[in-house]
Amino acid sequence: MIETTASREKLGHATRIAYGVGGAAGGIKNNGFDYALLIFYSQVLGLPGWWVAGAIWIALIIDAVSDPIIGYWSDNLRSGLGRRHPFLYTAAIPVAIAYFFVWNPPTGMEGVPLFAWLLALTIFVRVGYTLFEVPSLSLAAELSQDYDVRTMLMSYRYFFAWVGGLTVQVMLFTVFLVPSEGDPQGFLHMPGWSIYGLVGASAIFTAIAITALGTHSRIPYLMKPPAERDLTITKILK
């Protein structure tokens, strides 16, 4: 579907910003997993470092497989909400809940059960976030045919990714983790990690919801799959 001048004019700054806010979800998730996850599970909870690295590695492998699967599914989905927004709405709550529990494991859990907890939740967060990330990135190319508008959409997205991710991460190390005698960095302050998980999860949910709701009105103008296809699990996996 080629965008008309009338439909292009409806893409106001509020919609562009709403789309960009979704980038904060990725910034928060990526910063947490890239910079804090290994510290938390190895130095704070006592899980061997190579176990933590193994869980992260396995989750990344599964994430690499899930990306093209969800991309194909999104490209060919037909629904009353279009082909992108069902994924955006589906991802918001599960990925936020899973991210919260990454930083709030059951008290006293250790060893193999803790490894299983970490592995399951990192996989869930990564695959759940892919439900949002892949369709929402594709959405940028469908919201407008104008090169400058598309560039602005991605500029907003990366801006909020950096600001959102860094803000929550700075809060972790300067506000949530309270230093004490024998723990000058505050890494062992468990309530701080719990609050970090809550704030991060809440911000991820809010960012995804804003993008989904803020671009909802554009659904009638978005592109449709090229032809009717019967989507089966076998076909999607293939």
Instruction: Catalogue all structural domains in the chain, each as residue range(s) with its CATH number.
Output: 12-237 (1.20.1250.20)
d(CA 134, CA 235) in angstroms, rounded, equals 19
Q: Are 179 and 199 in contact (CB under 8 A)?
A: no
d(CA 148, CA 11) in angstroms, rounded, equals 12
Q: Are 167 and 74 in contact (CB under 8 A)?
A: no
Residue 195 structure tokens:
């609050």
Q: Which pLDDT score is estimated for 231?
A: 62
- Whether the predicted pLDDT of 195 surpasses 60: yes
- Whether the predicted pLDDT of 8 surpasses 50: no
Beta carbons within 10 angstroms of residue 113's beta carbon: 12
Q: Which pLDDT score is estimated for 10?
A: 64
Tens of pLDDT, residue by residue over 84-123, are: 999 999 999 999 999 999 999 999 999 999 999 999 999 9
Q: Which pLDDT score is estimated for 6?
A: 37
Is the pTM higher than 0.85? The answer reads yes
Q: If you average pLDDT over residues 209-213, what whole number do you get?
A: 97
| Percent with pLDDT over 70 in the chain | 91
Residue found under tokens 């909020």: 160
Tens of pLDDT, residue by residue over 118-153, are: 999 999 999 999 999 999 999 998 998 888 999 999
Q: If you average pLDDT over residues 68-81, what whole number do you get?
A: 89
- Whether the predicted pLDDT of 172 surpasses 90: yes
DSSP annotation of 32 reads I
How far is CA 229 from each of CA 63, 84, 135, rounded to the nearest angstrom? 25, 16, 18
Q: Are 11 and 218 in contact (CB under 8 A)?
A: yes
Tens of pLDDT, residue by residue over 37-67, are: 999 999 999 999 999 999 999 999 999 999 9
Q: If you average pLDDT over residues 191-197, what whole number do you get?
A: 97
- The DSSP bridge partners found for residue 180 are 183
